[in-house]
Amino acid sequence: MADMISQAEMREKYLRKGMLPTIFCNGCGHGSSLDYTFRAIEELGLDLDDIVFASGIGCSSRIPGYINADGLHTTHGRSLAFATGVKAANPDLNVVVFSGDGDATGIGGNHFIHAARRNIDMTVIILNNFIYGMTGGQVAPTSPKGTIATTAPYGNLEGAFDISELAKSLGAAYVARWPVFYPQQPIKSIKDAISTRGFSLVELMSPCPTAYGRRNKLGNIKNLWDWYENNSVLAEEYDKIMNYGTDEEKAATINKIKIGVFQHTEKVGFFEAYEEQIKNLMANDDKKWGGV
Amino acid sequence: MRYELDPVRVRKILGNKKQFIMGDMAIAYGGLLAGVGFFGGYPITPASEVAEGMARMLPRAGGTFIQMEDEIASMAAIIGAAWSGTKTMTATSGPGFSLMMENYGYAIMTETPCVIANVQRTGPSTGQPTQGAQGDMLQTRWGSHGDMMAIALCPSTVQECLDMTIESFNLSEKYRHPVVLLADGEVGHLREKVVIPDVDEMELFERIEATVDKDKFIPYSESQTNPGSKVPDFPTFGSGYRSYVTGLTHNDMGFPATDKQPDHERLINRLVSKITDDREKLTDVEEIELEDAEVVFVTYGASARPAESAVRMARAKGIKAGMLRLKLVWPFPEKAIYDLSKKVNKIIVPEMSLGQMVHPIREFAAKDCEVIVAPKVGGVMHLPVELLEYLEEGA
Amino acid sequence: MIEILDDWCKGCEICVNRCPVQALEISEIMNKKGVRVPRLKAVNKCYQCRLCEQLCPDFAITVTKEEKEEGEEKECKLIIGGVCAD
Ligand SMILES: Cc1ncc(C[n+]2csc(CCOP(=O)(O)OP(=O)(O)O)c2C)c(N)n1
Ligand code: SF4
Ligand code: SF4
Ligand code: SF4
Ligand SMILES: [Mg+2]
């Protein structure tokens, strides 16, 4: 642990000069995810020259701008489609996408489900704050029922997306969800996500004091961060309680957000399969023509 | 990197030198000959055959074809692929082109070379899916929000579908700009003879990649290897330049400068003038019977075909008719139109719409030259005799 | 030791609130944005777990290992602007 890279070293090695401080508000969880990503890259021994970071639009989507690597800050919701092209034209690149809950499951929901369905080899880190942060707190597809938002002033009536559950059902190779305030689990998950072939999702629940916490009376920064802690439960723990717990334990747990690693499989990535198909087609032509 | 496409292999895949093919297929051929390494598209009449041709041939050449989930994704994917260092292309028609608008603007803002073949139909909305028209002439120029310039070519024959696709790639690489091949459903679905160029018969412009020291590289300013060019050198992803590409207003170093008026002004002026500085060099027109003409058509695309017939018929009747065909419609050939308007009495613009290009033509024609549209809507082409009447009236 | 890049600190107090042994406190020192920045308490039980460093969303904290002198256990030092001030 003590040999872990320090923030002072990260400032030199990973941060893009001249871009910090971040635009994130005081108490925003998004910045921590940047720290975890660097630690994951460091522990994997990857070279920033071989990674492309893509994103859409939103506070969360500003992350690639702070990383001293190739970055593609695209249009709202479309980052996964852009990233698919990046990977298609150079499958040797590692592609990591940062997205927000609104970016990935609102305007970009269609791209999200298709990138997962195709099993495009990329890592998607979604910073879920249950709200449209950048535009000032409008309701998101992830906002829990009852959320007060500028566009749901009387309380949100819509059901919320469970992003990890969605990705899991789409057959994503790797799916995990963590709150941002436990460093070790997200770091490990980002490492595993990058190392897993195919489509990987790491959903980080990231407190947004400005646009979500304040309006939903979750108190100051400390209380908001604590709220996440008190309202999440390890998936395994959840199952145990639901199966064997007392009625009181069940009642105290049923509305909590499950966290943990939900899926971890090995599947041939789309571009691996594509490469194989190209090889066969070329070999066929070569046979037909007796060489090019 | 996988995408070193072998031009000899590509040429072999295409087959015989002379073929009888449809305009859409000629567009696919042109893309392959230009060296496209990635095609992302979504089916839409009358452009689907371009994607179908690519799906069949591109993987055999070593490139990647993906049918994306929609046109927004198609446009996004080709931009992403361009940044990984390959030539990229999509094909669509009206409704799909409308969906591409936001990312088309993104490609302009980020100076991403790529080609959009738009085999046009009409609208608004779904309109007449199976009929050709010329519905996106102005959307190409003005469709994205904010200030922008467009580069667009209009083929009138199947051969031009092939040749102009190659030219579209050359221009997009040269100016680092998304280039639109504005075909129409008529030429797209027309079958004609084409002659397929061999590898040594083509001139291809290859992207100027960044080569300066990484710590001296300026990603969004004038070229550092090609002095005087307003087109910056391209820092391909993975080549170590670690560039940040954003649709936000950015400064020369690529950093967001959204609240900096001088940065925005400098950026936008460069994005536009890198193209408009070359407006006259880019102008590409065909002149027919113009020497002594008094009444003329200014045409483009499929409508040039009946228009040319009408000019011949009028000449046989002794009418001093002529025609100027715009092969490149954007950036608009302002001087060519002004010069023409000084020589003739009347300009008639046959269009498969209620009139789109007639507007810039009127804008740049001298004030004593009358400019009118000869509209034809409903998914059919003008008949030469209909257009002859316009010439007779104008004479 | 805990080094804090004062001018990058936004004052969220996440480090202070999450330290498992409450070793940090908000000090009287103001950075150039007018934010009062955290420091180790004069007496503290910091054991260099580095949680505060990993959580800091603004890359402002670096925890360095205490140099232990032969035979003696030292408390954490408070460093201001790189100068030892404890
Ligand atoms: C096409 C389009 N529609 C709307 C917007 C405005 N917009 C910018 S960010 C945003 C919401 C982002 O929310 P989320 O993805 O959850 O990110 P957060 O800011 O919460 O991190 C919206 C609606 C836009 N930029 N583009
Ligand atoms: S608005 Fe919310 S998500 Fe955006 S930077 Fe502020 S706290 Fe973070
Ligand atoms: S290193 Fe650990 S113990 Fe020391 S101040 Fe930071 S969080 Fe507290
Ligand atoms: S976590 Fe970082 S930004 Fe927040 S108060 Fe501590 S040092 Fe300052
Ligand atoms: Mg959000």
CA angle B153, B155, B161 (to 5 degrees): 105
The model's pTM is 0.96
Burial A63-79 (b: 16+ CB within 10 A, else e): bbbbbebbbbbbbbbbb
Measured between CB atoms, does B248 come within 8 Å of chain A? yes
Which ligand is nearest the CA of A208, by number?
2
Quick check: is B235 in a domain? no
Q: Which of B175, B201, B227 is the last residue of a domain?
A: B201
The C-alpha atoms of residue B371 and residue B369 are separated, in whole angstroms, by 6
Q: Which atom of ligand 1 is nearest to the CA of A99?
A: 15
Do A22 and C57 lie within an 8 Å CB cutoff?
yes
Q: Which one of A134, A150, A225 would you pick to mutate in the ligand 2 pocket, going by the greatest count of ligand atoms within 8 A of its CB?
A: A134
Phi/psi for A113 (5° steps) reads: -70, -35
The C-alpha atoms of residue A128 and residue A58 are separated, in whole angstroms, by 11
Q: Could you tell me the distance, in angstroms and rounded to a whole number, from the CA of residue A143 to the centre of ligand 1?
A: 14
Chains B and C touch (3+ CB pairs under 8 A): no
Q: Sorting pLDDT into bands at 50, 70 and 90, what band is B2?
A: low
10 Å Cβ neighbour count for A229? 11
Given this model, what pLDDT does residue A17 score?
87
Q: Whose CA is nearest to atom 2 of ligand 2?
A: A208
The C-alpha atoms of residue C10 and residue C32 are separated, in whole angstroms, by 11
Residues of A in contact with C54 (CB under 8 A): 32, 35-36, 39, 183
pLDDT in tens, A98-108: 999 999 999 99
pLDDT in tens, C27-74: 999 999 999 999 999 999 999 999 999 999 999 999 988 765 444 444
Q: Which domain holds residue B120?
A: 7-201
Q: Which one of A20, A28, A60, A135 would you pick to mutate in the ligand 2 pocket, going by the greatest count of ligand atoms within 8 A of its CB?
A: A28
Given this model, what pLDDT does residue A229 score?
87
Quick check: is A243 in a domain? no
Angle between helix B71-83 and helix B94-110 axes, rounded to 10 deg: 30
Measure Cα distances from C15 to B114, B142, B162, B351 in Å: 47, 51, 63, 68
Q: Which of B201, B236, B269 is the last residue of a domain?
A: B201
Q: Which of B176, B201, B226 is the last residue of a domain?
A: B201
Q: Which fold has domain C2-65+74-84?
A: Alpha-Beta Plaits (3.30.70)
Residues framing ligand 3 (Cβ under 6 A): C 2, 19, 21, 23-24, 46-52, 63
Domain match, B23 and B158 both? yes
Q: How far is A183 from chain C (nearest CA, A)?
A: 6
Task: Nearest by CB to B76, from A48, A74, A278: name it.
Answer: A74
Q: How far is C60 from chain A (nearest CA, A)?
A: 7
Cα–Cα nearest to B188, from B224, B157, B149, B144:
B157
pLDDT in tens, B367-379: 999 999 999 999 9
Interface test with B, best of A14, A76, A78 (most B CBs within 10 A): A78
Question: Which CATH number fits the domain that encloses residue B316?
Answer: 3.40.50.920
Quick check: is B350 in a domain? yes
pLDDT in tens, A2-32: 478 999 999 999 999 888 899 999 999 999 9
Question: Which CATH number fits the domain that encloses residue B39?
Answer: 3.40.50.970
Measured between CB atoms, does A281 come within 8 Å of chain B? yes
How many domains does one find in chain B? 2
Contact criterion met (CB below 8 Å) for B78 and B38 = yes
Contacts (Cβ under 8 Å, ≥6 apart) of C22: C16, C41
Q: Which atom of ligand 4 is nearest to the CA of C61?
A: 7
Decide if pLDDT at C76 tops 90. no
Q: Whose CA is nearest to atom 8 of ligand 4?
A: C9
Q: Which domain holds residue A219?
A: 2-232+258-287
Q: Sorting pLDDT into bands at 50, 70 and 90, what band is C78?
A: very low
Which ligand is nearest the CA of C45, by number?
3
Domain match, B186 and B313 both? no
The C-alpha atoms of residue B302 and residue B154 are separated, in whole angstroms, by 9
10 Å Cβ neighbour count for B381? 19
Phi/psi for A8 (5° steps) reads: -60, -45
Q: Which residues are bridge partners to A230 per DSSP?
A: none
Any atom of ligand 1 within 6 Å of the Cβ of A103: yes
Q: Could you tell me the distance, in angstroms and rounded to a whole number, from the CA of residue A122 to the centre of ligand 1?
A: 22
Interface test with B, best of A55, A82, A103 (most B CBs within 10 A): A82
Quick check: is B255 in a domain? no
Identify the three-state secondary structure at position B256: strand
The shares of helix, strand and coil residues in chain C, as percent rounded to the nearest 5, are 15, 25, 60
Task: Nearest by CB to A18, from B40, B238, B255: name it.
Answer: B255
The C-alpha atoms of residue B54 and residue B36 are separated, in whole angstroms, by 10
Q: Which two tokens stand for residue B342?
A: 């000084």
What tens-digit pLDDT sequence spans chain A (292 residues)?
A: 547 899 999 999 999 988 889 999 999 999 999 999 999 999 999 999 999 999 999 999 999 999 999 999 999 999 999 999 999 999 999 999 999 999 999 999 999 999 999 999 999 999 999 999 999 999 999 999 999 999 999 999 999 999 999 999 999 999 999 999 899 999 999 999 999 999 999 999 999 999 998 888 888 899 998 999 899 999 999 999 999 999 999 999 999 999 999 999 989 999 999 999 999 999 999 999 987 6
Contacts (Cβ under 8 Å, ≥6 apart) of B382: B303, B306, B307, B350, B352, B374, B376
Structural domain spans, chain C: 2-65+74-84
Measured between CB atoms, does C1 come within 8 Å of chain A? no
**How far from each other are the two terminal CA atoms of chain A, in whole angstroms?**
56
Residues of A at the C interface (Cβ-Cβ below 8 Å)? Answer: 1-2, 4, 6-11, 15, 20-22, 24-32, 34-36, 39, 181, 183, 221-222, 225
How many domains does one find in chain A? 1
Question: Which CATH number fits the domain that encloses residue A218?
Answer: 3.40.50.970
Do B60 and A285 lie within an 8 Å CB cutoff?
yes
Q: Which two tokens stand for residue A186?
A: 């997200």
10 Å Cβ neighbour count for B370? 15
Phi/psi for C34 (5° steps) reads: 85, 20
Decide if pLDDT at C80 tops 70. no
Distance of CA B363 to the CA centre of its chain: 21
Domain match, B29 and B137 both? yes
Q: Which residues are bridge partners to B194 per DSSP?
A: B19
The C-alpha atoms of residue B20 and residue B192 are separated, in whole angstroms, by 5
Residues of B in contact with A274 (CB under 8 A): 59, 64
Given this model, what pLDDT does residue A215 score?
85
Domain match, B154 and B27 both? yes
Quick check: is A247 in a domain? no
Do A15 and C59 lie within an 8 Å CB cutoff?
yes
Decide if pLDDT at C85 tops 70. no
Residues of A in contact with C3 (CB under 8 A): 8
Domain match, B177 and B295 both? no
Burial class (CB in 10 A: 0-12, 13-18, 19+), C66: middle
Given this model, what pLDDT does residue C74 score?
43
Given this model, what pLDDT does residue A292 score?
65
Residue B234 DSSP code: B
